[in-house]
Amino acid sequence: MGTVPSENARMKRGLAFIVCAQVLWGLSPAFWRLGADVPALDLLGHRAFWTFVTVFVIHLIRRSWRDVRTAVRQPRILALEAFAGIIIGLNWLIWLWALTNDRVLEGSLGYFITPLVSVLLGVMVVGERLRPAQWMAVGMGGASVLWQTVDLGQLPWVSLALAGTFGVYGLIKKKVDRPPLDMLAIELTVMLPVVVVFLGLRMAGGQDALASATPTETVALLGSGLFTAVPLLCFAAAVRRVPLSVVGVIQYLSPSLNFVLGAVVYDEPFSSGRLVGFILVWLGLAVFTVDGLRSSRATRQSPPGQQKPLV
């Protein structure tokens, strides 16, 4: 009897963590637009540097740098995390550029597409098999990209680049069985030499963004580390307490908030053609989510030894 309340409390804390992470990511355009006049490369440099400082302090408090050093001594983990650092850095750069160039809607579409891209990568790289409903969902995502290409007259490259980089990043995370905070520390350490050289050159040339920043830009630059680390930590805490099927559904909250900000608050162009593209993605995600929940429920209800594979 005593375990039920504790499990319920664990679930509630997990839900609070995942909602916190998704809301912060969803509202991130409002934060990063505080530095809208700062070049995207400068924003990226300061974001990587101050996130490293934040993570470094957290590891000092937790006395967990030994775990990071242990992981780095394994060549496979170091190579994968070095690649992950490059990929997430590219993802951050594209996202920051999109947010400061009135492309929030394209960014939100990218993160709506990401789960479908992750599934496709699972097929192409890992050799996973998809159920018919999953193929249908992926097909709808492809139809959305094709429709928007025709409607815009060009590929929605921001959306595809964000979905592709984050999908690859997630694939690497699956291959490295380490705590998220440890992995982030390695990725940031890989970025650090390049970041320090870049910021040093900007400072030497009198072009450092922080030196000439307005008060709001200073908040964006100095607060970038905390704003990056907090939702990641919340997300990491959530996935340990909440079933992945629930996490998968709630993860659509952040691109939904991005979408509302872009369409309503920032009044970005939203034609009927673009609406059709979003509807195709939303339908694909609905099929994907319902199919995943049904499969998860069937797996839990099957007797041991007769459980069906989720993919």
pLDDT at residue 220, rounded to an integer: 94
Name the residue type at position 120. L
pLDDT score of 146: 87
Give the span between the Cα atoms of 37 and 16, in whole angstroms.
34
The pLDDT assigned to 244 comes to 61
107 contacts 258 by C-beta, under 8 angstroms: yes
The confidence score (pLDDT) of residue 248 equals 67
Query: Digits of tens for pLDDT over the chain (311 positions)?
Result: 445 557 788 888 888 888 998 999 999 999 999 998 999 999 999 999 999 999 999 999 988 888 888 888 888 888 998 998 999 999 999 999 999 898 999 999 988 888 888 888 878 887 778 788 888 888 888 888 888 888 777 888 999 999 999 888 888 877 877 777 888 888 899 899 999 999 999 999 989 899 889 999 999 999 999 999 898 888 877 877 777 667 767 888 899 999 999 999 999 888 888 888 889 889 988 888 888 778 767 666 655 544 433 33
pLDDT value at residue 307: 41
Measured in degrees and rounded to the nearest 5, phi and psi for residue 186 equal -65, -45
Give 225's Cβ-side CA count (13 Å radius): 17
In 3D space, the residue among 32, 20, 53 whose CA is nearest the CA of residue 231 turns out to be 20
* Res 308: pLDDT: 39
Predicted confidence at residue 262, as pLDDT, reads: 92
CB atoms within 10 A of CB 42: 21
CB-hemisphere CA count at 13 Å for 156? 31
pTM of the full structure? 0.84
As a residue count, the chain comes to: 311
Q: Give CA–CA dist 214/211, Å, rounded.
A: 9
Calpha distance 310→176 (Å, rounded): 21
